[in-house]
């Protein structure tokens, strides 16, 4: 079974702090994604990566950056956390390309981030 | 503009009943479709893929209507454990080349099965 893990389930940070969210997948998937999920807004794509050191902006990249130094690890960075970044953050991975036919995404358990 | 629309519900359904909900999509070039299930405070998990005219998996049937651009999910003999949020997910044209035009998630339909 594919396993996607995230470094923290719950995280509380203060405004202005730099925040690192880590995601690791163990199935040698090429593609990894970061989403945030908010009530009434659904899942929104922040960034994704289709290869090591490659990254693409999603729909809401502002205020975030990412790093993919190794195939299995994809990090989301909040350079200076703000209260409007309080959310559930979900990492996902998939074997096939973003637009490939039948590309199931496997999600991690999520990190619930609160910025005070 | 790509969109996936779902009725947010909640759908309150007695145990054992049949329930169906739809999802409409705006990109007519979309090639593949999925239903994901998300339990409260959990991550989404793939429930079913819908590739052509639809498919069935036990009590669950997913159907695709390309002409009207909607997919549906039918749950027969509903169980208490079916209570969850069901996310409709659409994959655009397979030749779109990636980029931010990746999977598009609906906001989900909340289903509550009542004893």
List, for residues A24-41, the tens digit of each pLDDT value: 999 898 889 999 999 989
Taking alpha carbons only, the member of B44, B31, B115 closest to residue B79 is B115
Contacts A107 to B, Cβ<8 Å: 43-45
Dihedral sign of CA atoms B106, B9, B45, A4 in order: positive
d(Cα A22, Cα A73) in Å, to the nearest integer?
A: 7
Average pLDDT, chain A: 91
Å between A13 CA and nearest CA of chain B? 20
Task: Note the pLDDT tens digit of each residue in B61-108.
Answer: 999 999 999 999 999 999 999 999 999 998 875 554 444 446 789 999
- Yes or no, beta carbons of B105 and A43 under 8 Å apart: yes
- Provide residues of A within 8 Å CB-CB of chain B: 33, 40-43, 45, 48, 50, 56-59, 90, 97-110
* Residues of chain A found within 8 Å of residue B40, distances taken between Cβ atoms: none
The encoded tokens of residue A60 equal 């809401």
Find the angle CA(A4)-CA(A20)-CA(B102) to the nearest 5 degrees: 55
The H-or-E segment that residue A46 falls in is strand A42-49
Q: Which residues in chain B (25-84) have CB-CB distances under 8 A to chain A?
A: 31-32, 34, 41-46, 49, 51
């Amino acid at each position: 079974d594919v396993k996607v893990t995230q470094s923290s389930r719950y995280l509380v940070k203060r405004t202005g702090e730099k925040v690192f969210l880590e995601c690791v997948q163990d199935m040698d998937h090429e593609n990894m994604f970061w989403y945030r999920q908010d009530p009434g807004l659904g899942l929104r794509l922040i960034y994704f990566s289709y290869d090591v050191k490659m990254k693409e902006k999603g729909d809401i990249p502002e205020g975030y950056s990412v790093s993919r130094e190794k195939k299995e690890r994809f990090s989301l960075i909040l350079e200076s956390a703000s209260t409007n970044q309080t959310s559930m953050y979900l990492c996902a991975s998939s074997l096939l390309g973003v637009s490939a036919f039948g590309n199931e995404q496997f999600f991690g358990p999520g990190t619930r981030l609160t910025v005070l | 503009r790509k969109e996936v629309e779902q009725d947010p519900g909640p759908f309150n359904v007695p145990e054992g009943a049949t329930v169906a909900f739809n999802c409409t999509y705006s990109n007519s070039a979309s090639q593949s479709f999925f239903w994901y299930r998300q339990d409260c405070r959990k991550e989404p998990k793939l429930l079913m893929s819908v590739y052509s005219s639809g498919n069935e998996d036990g009590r669950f049937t997913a159907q695709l209507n390309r002409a009207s651009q909607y997919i549906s999910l039918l749950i027969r003999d509903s169980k208490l454990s079916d209570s969850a949020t069901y996310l409709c997910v659409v994959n655009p044209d397979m030749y779109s080349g990636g980029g931010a035009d990746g999977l598009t998630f609906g906001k989900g339909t909340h289903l509550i099965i009542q004893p």
